[in-house]
Amino acid sequence: MKDLISELVQHAIIKLSETNQLPAELNYRINIDASKDKTHGDFASNIALVLAKQAGFAPRALAELIVNTLLASPHENIEKIEIAGPGFINFFVNSASNFTVIESILEKKASFGRAESVQNLNYQVEFVSANPTGPLHVGHGRGAAYGASVADLLEAAGITVTREYYVNDAGRQMNILAASVWLRYLESYFPLTFPVNGYKGDYINEISADMKAQYGDRFLKAHQEVFIDLPKDENEGGDKELYIDAIVSKAKHLLAEDYELVFQQGLNAIVNDIRDDLAGFGVSYQNWFSEASLSKDIDVALARLDKNGHLYTQDGAVWFRSTTFGDDKDRVVKRDNGETTYFASDIAYHLNKFERGFDKVINIWGADHHGYIPRVKAALEALDIDPTRLEVRLVQFAILYRGKERVQMSTRSGSFVTLRELREEVGNDAARFFYVTRKAEQHMDFDLDLAKSESKDNPVYYIQYAHARIASMLRKLDSLGLSVDAKAGLNALTSIAQEGEINLAKLLTQYPEQLQTAAMNLEPHILTHYLRDLASEFHTYYNSNKVLDDNQETRDGRVTLSIAVKQVLQNGLQLLGVNAPEEM
């Protein structure tokens, strides 16, 4: 209906231009919005306000001109057109046109709301990408739910999407993980004081136990050999960072070629756990990209930056002149010891992404990565890549509460709530839905009690219950030996329609636009709010009307409408990774 009204307004403006009542050259975009206030009609347009200055008219006078042109060629679906306020044009549609959407829903089913054709666009969405140094915690869960929903919405909008997880399998933190696994392995042979800055979770013990079961005493070294000539740890009044780095160096020296086995033991165990955890959460990827595979790409990226004149050497280190592109300071890409930095890997990774042919790259990062955005965009520009092709969305941490007590999280100390634990407590559906009910950049308090409650206040339960309620009603219809003729139901809706039916139909009409808006703005919360409104409207309607009415015409119309609501609820929940249960 919005497209129809937009087309009618477009034709009116063209006709006015052809008759020299409006200038021939006008720059505008027609916006048609669903009216929130029923007294203002079903749809409204601000086109007269948008065009007034260009056209040389007062907004209301221009609105009158457009409306008179529209009324000169009336359309069967438009019942009335009015001008409101300074020049808004309100459209009232006839009752029958409200229900044309039902036929479309029944015909298209699962594809209703999705783009009619695939766009010639190829996007990459990279999300979660947590360091494989421990299990995913509830903070990672929000990024997972958001990224998966964004990817699914973009696909529904007709865009080809590649989902990617960037595995940080190189660098200092991974070496600390390997050293932690090795020390727990040694601890099974003799007592030792574990480093303050080592990874301490129970999962480290499990990995080291598996390693011992597989390799026996292959990695065993004497206590004195391991701990001689080390600096003091923090609990001895020393520097914990220097101490853990010294432990890493000792592990590499003593284990020699076996160090890689220990390193891979920790890495593989945690990456496999992350894969399983995300798969259990309904999140999958087309590609798991290894940071360690970037060694050649780093050389290529730095060589290109150097060729373009954006690198310089100072104090033995190589710097990227990122201030040229708006960053607040220049960045080191190669240290004075010849090692490249994490930022150099980032540059190479993004060059690799765009050389794979993606039209747009969407990075979903934790909010603590805010400072990385200008430097990465600066690097892209220096590499002659349009930085607007990279879009970064920051996801704030989800703060978990048990009652009024906030749960602290730390992957080093091991005292954190994992995503798996959250899923086990509240279920996948509640977790997936709750995570995306707010804008990603907004802080979120995750209320465990609400997520588990079976009440109207729990949005996911309320929506799922609406779907299950319709399924239950259809089972009852079948048990009564009754059936519904969809065609008869569509015809019946026009004659039986009252406020409840019309309100539901109008909401159903909005679904494709809500989906498109959520996709293009990367904001799945728009869809959660829409589904909540649709469920609420249906519950109100169901409680006020006997759907399985004794009168066949009334029953056919109401059941047909309910089936359409059920389908749209299912379609929307699926895009959010949430089940649409047949019974609850």
Token look-up 């080809």 returns 160
Fold category of 2-93 in CATH: Gyrase A; domain 2 (3.30.1360)
Helix or strand run (H / E) with residue 45: strand 43-45
Closest CA to 73 of 3, 2, 15: 15
Indicate the DSSP class of residue 367. Answer: G
Distance CA 174, CA 134 (A): 10
- Paired tokens of 269: 């165990």
pLDDT at 495: 85
Give CA 475 to chain center in angstroms: 35
Distance CA 529, CA 572 (A): 11
pLDDT at 325: 95
pLDDT tens digits, 145-172: 999 999 999 999 999 999 999 999 998 9
Token look-up 């409840």 returns 500
Distance CA 378, CA 214 (A): 47
For the domain bounded by 122-168+273-395, which CATH number is listed? 3.40.50.620
Distance CA 366, CA 401 (A): 20
Please state at what angle helix 342-355 crosses helix 372-382, rounded to 10 degrees: 50
Contact assessment for residue 465 and residue 175, using Cβ atoms and an 8 Å cutoff: no
Contact assessment for residue 502 and residue 98, using Cβ atoms and an 8 Å cutoff: yes
Contact assessment for residue 41 and residue 91, using Cβ atoms and an 8 Å cutoff: yes
Q: What is the dihedral of CA 239, 242, 248, 251, to 10 degrees?
A: -80
Fold category of 455-575 in CATH: Isoleucyl-tRNA Synthetase; Domain 1 (1.10.730)
Closest CA to 230 of 263, 199, 197: 197
Which residues of the chain have a pLDDT value below 50?
Answer: 411-414
- Strands in 331-334's sheet, in edge-to-edge order, are 311-314, 317-320, 331-334
Distance CA 318, CA 332 (A): 6
Reported pTM:
0.88
pLDDT tens digits, 299-329: 999 999 999 999 999 999 999 999 999 999 9
Q: Where are the domains of the chain?
A: 2-93, 122-168+273-395, 172-272, 455-575
Would you put residue 427 in left (φ > 0), alpha (ψ -120 to 50) or beta?
left
